[in-house]
């Protein structure tokens, strides 16, 4: 059982084994009825497009996917429900009653910058199992990768200023708040307003007051003094309940001076409405004139990466940002379109011998890459920066070949020859025959990894508008396999 700060596992508390699309169950039953119960299959989880027309995404959600796989079990109530449907065989229901996860799983570690079409998670094992886990793997990786990607953009826009995740009350449900805060912290947010994410994951909980605190007291000054009395060394005051410049900032200055006289260090004011660029500049001047240059200014109110960038361009005097709904829901593009596709499978006669499979489409970007694969990242030998990613067949070793040629996946004439590079496998083993062999890192290590790995991606790839395309190419053996399969299918 996975241990948390609270000493328990969220997935053990809630048996989510049945959180599946119903067709996962009907297909598994059908596999068994058609003699495919022991046939193995290989599935890849990948995405086709970066949200917000961005140049990169951030891998997140793996720890929760692992937790789910560790706790797969069908209860008596699950079996009874399925029996009542009247469409499942007793042999299948018995299989579920005795269920034991036995697949191999590989995945890209959390915090890694990721790009379209490369396998983020690969599951190989009995088709009945590998197909069944599709929904929850997609749910966990899609959601947290989406929020981590959005948070990374917002953190970049803040240009070194702390960003606090304030979106719990606008999140899509309790898990959206809990895991959204986790994903945001991985991508560089300074903390969250969501207390349970601190308890469960160690994401620092941050917060001060709401407007209701101030309204509960006879005057704004009374409210500020009452708060300062309770929290003299952590006093941040919300100054826009009535009027930022006429009463809010002057009253805050009065209380901060009283705190300093008593030997305490005042912290900050927060502006949550109005023309934040104008108000922050005026507030900064008032605080400085009052001898309070150490007092910080926090801005909130429906911010995103573009508004933050514009505020800073306008010279806003803001030291940190609180970002809510537009972060935790990724409001501008609230879907991370990961998919889960079969890439190889066995046969009844040879259940574990993997035969490459391909999905065709009139849309070239939706044609899948066949076979059991491994994504690699190639780093320049001189600069250490990432050059490109390449997908190979799983048994290839890039480091034995130099110069190395990579091929455009859409079968154009484009190819690139590389020399003086370092190649690193992106996926690591997570499960071997159903046994977890991967220990999820502490969230601080994941967060550090995210920053370190992003620093190895060129800024041109990370810009908001028209980012430079970071290429995910194919090795020559995979390119030839895909081309041969396409030629064969289209010839038919």
Cis amide leading into 247 (omega within 30): no
Phi, psi of 141 (to 5 degrees): -70, -40
Whole-prediction pTM? 0.96
385-388-394 Cα angle (round to 5): 120
- In sign, the C-alpha dihedral spanning 448, 119, 68, 134 is positive
Q: Is residue 290 part of a domain?
A: yes
User: For the chain, what's the residue count?
Assistant: 492
Model confidence pLDDT, tens digit, residues 380-426:
999 999 999 999 999 999 987 778 999 988 766 678 899 999 999 99
Q: Is residue 262 part of a domain?
A: yes
Nearest to 145, CA basis, from 51, 37, 71 = 51
Alpha carbon distance 209, 248 (integer Å): 14
Q: What is the CATH number of the domain that holds 280?
A: 3.20.20.70
Model confidence pLDDT, tens digit, residues 229-269:
999 999 999 999 999 999 999 999 999 999 999 999 999 99
Q: Is residue 82 part of a domain?
A: no
Tens of pLDDT along the chain (492 residues)? 344 554 456 656 789 999 999 999 999 999 999 999 999 999 999 999 999 999 999 999 999 999 999 999 999 999 999 999 999 999 999 999 999 999 999 999 999 999 999 999 999 999 999 999 999 999 999 999 999 999 999 999 999 999 999 999 999 999 999 999 999 999 999 999 999 999 999 999 998 899 999 999 999 999 999 999 999 999 999 999 999 999 999 999 999 999 999 999 999 999 999 999 999 999 999 999 999 999 999 999 999 999 999 999 999 999 999 999 999 999 999 999 999 999 999 999 999 999 999 999 888 889 999 999 999 999 999 999 999 999 999 999 998 777 899 998 876 667 889 999 999 999 999 999 999 999 999 999 999 999 999 999 999 999 999 999 999 999 999 999 999 999 998 876
Residue 192, C-beta contacts closer than 8 angstroms, at least 6 positions apart: 164, 165, 166, 168, 181, 184, 185, 198, 203, 204, 205, 206
Residue 165, C-beta contacts closer than 8 angstroms, at least 6 positions apart: 151, 180, 181, 184, 185, 189, 191, 192, 193, 194, 323, 324, 327, 328
Tokens of 118: 């490369």
Residue 276, C-beta contacts closer than 8 angstroms, at least 6 positions apart: 299, 301, 311, 316, 318
Q: Is residue 391 part of a domain?
A: no
Phi, psi of 28 (to 5 degrees): -60, -45
Q: Is residue 309 part of a domain?
A: yes
Q: Is residue 457 part of a domain?
A: no
pLDDT at 1 (0 to 100):
33
Number of domains within the chain: 1
Phi, psi of 186 (to 5 degrees): -55, -40
Q: Is residue 279 part of a domain?
A: yes
Domain extent for 202 = 157-328
Q: Is residue 340 part of a domain?
A: no
């Amino acid at each position: 059982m996975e241990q948390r700060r609270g000493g328990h596992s969220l997935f053990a508390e809630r048996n989510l084994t049945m959180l599946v699309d119903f067709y996962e169950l009907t297909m598994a039953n059908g596999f068994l009825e058609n003699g495919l119960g022991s046939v193995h299959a290989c599935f890849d989880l990948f995405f086709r497009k970066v949200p917000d027309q961005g140049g990169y995404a951030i891998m997140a959600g793996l720890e929760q996917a692992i937790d789910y796989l560790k706790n797969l079990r069908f209860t008596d109530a699950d079996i009874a429900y399925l029996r009542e449907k009247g469409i499942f065989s007793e042999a299948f229901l018995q299989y579920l009653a005795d269920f034991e996860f036995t697949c191999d799983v590989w995945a890209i570690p959390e915090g890694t910058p990721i790009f379209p079409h490369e396998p983020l998670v690969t599951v190989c094992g009995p088709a009945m199992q590998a197909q069944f886990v599709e929904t929850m793997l997609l749910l966990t990786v899609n959601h947290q990768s989406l929020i981590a990607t959005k948070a990374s953009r917002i953190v970049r826009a803040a240009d070194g200023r702390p960003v606090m995740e304030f979106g719990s009350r606008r999140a899509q449900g309790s898990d959206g708040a809990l895991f959204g805060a986790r994903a945001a912290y991985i991508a560089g947010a300074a903390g969250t307003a969501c207390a349970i994410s601190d308890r469960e994951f160690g994401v620092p909980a941050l917060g001060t007051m709401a407007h209701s605190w101030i309204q509960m007291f006879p005057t704004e000054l009374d409210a500020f003094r009452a708060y300062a009395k309770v929290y003299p060394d952590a006093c941040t005051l919300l100054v826009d309940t009535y009027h930022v410049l006429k009463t809010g900032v002057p009253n805050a200055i009065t209380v901060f001076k009283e705190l300093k006289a008593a030997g305490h260090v005042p912290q900050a004011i927060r502006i949550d409405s109005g023309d934040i660029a104008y108000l922050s500049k005026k507030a900064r001047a008032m605080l400085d004139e009052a001898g309070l240059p150490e007092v910080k200014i926090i801005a909130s109110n429906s911010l995103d990466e573009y508004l933050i960038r514009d505020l800073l361009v306008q010279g806003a005097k803001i030291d940190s940002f609180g970002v809510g709904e537009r972060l935790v829901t990724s409001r501008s593009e609230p879907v991370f379109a990961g998919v889960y596709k079969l890439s190889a499978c066995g046969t009844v006669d040879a259940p574990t011998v993997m035969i490459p499979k391909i999905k065709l489409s009139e849309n070239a970007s939706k044609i899948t890459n066949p076979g059991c694969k491994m994504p690699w990242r190639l780093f320049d030998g001189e600069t250490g920066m990432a050059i490109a990613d390449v997908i190979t067949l799983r048994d290839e070793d890039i480091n034995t070949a130099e110069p190395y040629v990579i091929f455009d996946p859409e079968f154009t004439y484009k190819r690139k020859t590389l020399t003086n590079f370092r190649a690193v496998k992106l996926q690591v083993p997570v499960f071997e025959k159903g046994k977890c062999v991967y220990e999820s890192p502490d969230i601080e290590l994941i967060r550090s990894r995210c920053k370190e790995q992003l620093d190895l991606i060129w800024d041109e790839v990370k810009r908001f508008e028209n980012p430079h395309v970071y290429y995910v190419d194919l090795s020559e053996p995979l390119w030839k396999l895909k081309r041969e399969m396409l030629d064969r299918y289209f010839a038919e």
